[in-house]
Amino acid sequence: MRTSFVVTVVALGAAAFCGGALAADAATWIGAVRSHRSFEHFDMSVGVTASQQARRAVRFDEDREVYVVPSHYGALVAVTSGADTAASSVLWFKDDAGDLRNAVVPNTAMTPYKIVTGTTSRFEVELRDK
């Protein structure tokens, strides 16, 4: 009996901690959620030789932050710069109904990013007066 009580208390404490951490992260993103890192490797020819032939391909490695945007946002239609000093970018999406939504990605001037869409489900909208 005592062991099950301790396990229950520890589980509740862990759940509260994780919920708080998630809530803290949720407050820092607008439309785009940081997901993971993508390490990309590829070969690419850059430039031409004196005889105007393509140069031999060189290996490139990129380390990108991956952000997920909800699929119901629609298609990307524009990118603007953010108003902050952290060099963020605002991605503008237009859905099938013509509604625009923005997603803010921080520090795009210094960090390479990959933006992917995440399938959304149970999408609901509540309209309220101010």
pLDDT tens digits, one per residue of 105-120:
888 888 888 998 888 8
**pLDDT surpasses 90 at 1:** no
- d(CA 22, CA 37) in angstroms, rounded, equals 18
pLDDT digits (tens, 9 = 90+) for 51-80: 999 999 999 999 999 999 999 999 999 999
Tell me what pLDDT residue 101 has. Answer: 93
Is residue 30 packed enough to be buried (19+ CB in 10 Å), middle (13-18) or exposed (0-12)?
middle
Establish how many alpha carbons lie within 13 A of residue 47's alpha carbon, considering only the half-sphere containing its beta carbon.
3
Tell me what pLDDT residue 26 has. Answer: 44
- C-beta of residue 93 within 8 angstroms of C-beta of residue 77: yes
pTM as predicted: 0.65
What's the pLDDT band for 9 if we cut at 50, 70, 90? very low
